[in-house]
Amino acid sequence: MRIGLVGLALLLAGAVEADQAVYLMRGPVLPVAHSVNGYVVEVRLRATNVADVRVTTSIEPIGSEGTLGGVREAGRPVVPSGFELPPTLRSDLQPGMTAWEAATEVLEWVSDHLDLVADDRRPQDAASVLARGGGRCSGLANATAALLMAAGFEARTVSGLLIEGRRAIPHRWVECRLPGAGWVPTDPTLGWWTVTPGHVPFHDAVDRIPSIEIVTPPAGDLQHLPRSKGTLVRPNDGAELVCRVLDLPAGRRAVATLERGGDRHRLELGPEGRFANLLPGRWLLVVEIDGRVVETRRLTLEAGAVNSYVVNVAPGVREEVGS
């Protein structure tokens, strides 16, 4: 791991961040066990037509390697007959891009150009959805998988249920094979490289929804992920920032805010705090003590690095906030 130096470098080991939910399901058709990068589904039969289902998702960085050119050299998958990349997307995909960047470019194009139409009764194949600019979740998944394959990636759709609160609906999402990371799940209707503990896979499209009892609800840790253009993103090589205030007066409250576009994170420093799973790039750091801004700094956070910043509170400021 590289160490980015901003102020003073500190090495901190973080635990794997994950969220999970447990369900008790009853029905003639039950979920299937599944395991890919950042997403594990365990199914344990209690009796005939009864199973405990545990779904665990990770928001840790993906860890893909290689370039789009390398992916294409490995051999292109078969795409639907007559299917081609839209010209705007084709021009954006350059061989020198990292594989993750290229695949994310495809996901971003889908987000910008295709709309979710929940009650769409028209054909949901990839070409039809692209031609009219939208479709149901199944159509968006079909189109996303086809675009990824046309770009050079292996991709597949996954059918199952999406459990949100006490409601379960048939759903479809996508998995893409990224070099060095294996199959990685992504839901075009939710975000980039993200699925939730409410994504439960079945062998095929679900016609009869089983009885579902929520034993352990998810904690909602997905919201800790960074955002790009308002969309949740699980980064490939996340950046971290450790922020520390030196000589914090006793009994005083220090808070750090980190902003980048529409992405905003805020945490209390005691006197140290850690921002994790950040998108690399330029961020604005603001540190306050008891509501008074004592530091404002623009930082460039490096991918895969632990970046650190130390705030030295001037003696005059310490006396003022400590009075």
Taking the C-alpha atoms of residue 209 and residue 200, their distance in angstroms, rounded to an integer, is 11
pLDDT for 318 equals: 41
Tokens representing 63 are 């860890």
Range 239-321 has CATH code 2.60.40.1120: yes
Pick left, alpha or beta for residue 184 (phi over 0 → left; psi -120 to 50 → alpha; otherwise beta): beta
Tokens representing 85 are 């990349």
Query: Phi first, then psi: what are they for 109, rounded to 5°?
Result: -60, -45
What is the CATH code of the structural domain delimited by 18-223?
3.10.620
Q: Are strands 191-192 and 231-233 parallel, antiparallel or unpaired?
A: parallel
Structure-model confidence comparison of residues 160 and 306, the more confident one: 160
Structure-model confidence comparison of residues 151 and 229, the more confident one: 151
pLDDT band at 250 (very low <50, low <70, confident <90, very high): confident
Residue type, 133: G
Using the 8-state DSSP alphabet, how is residue 144 labeled? H
- pTM comes to 0.75
Q: Is residue 81 over pLDDT 80?
A: no
Q: 224-238, pLDDT tens digit by residue?
A: 677 777 788 888 987
What are the extents of the domains in the chain? 18-223, 239-321
Q: 158-216, pLDDT tens digit by residue?
A: 999 999 988 999 999 999 999 999 999 999 988 899 999 999 999 999 999 999 999 99
pLDDT for 226 equals: 74
Using the 8-state DSSP alphabet, how is residue 207 labeled? S
Residue type, 125: D
- The reply to whether 239-321 shares the fold of 18-223 is no
pLDDT for 323 equals: 38
Taking the C-alpha atoms of residue 153 and residue 133, their distance in angstroms, rounded to an integer, is 22
pLDDT band at 271 (very low <50, low <70, confident <90, very high): confident
pLDDT for 219 equals: 85
Query: Phi first, then psi: what are they for 94, rounded to 5°?
Result: -105, 140
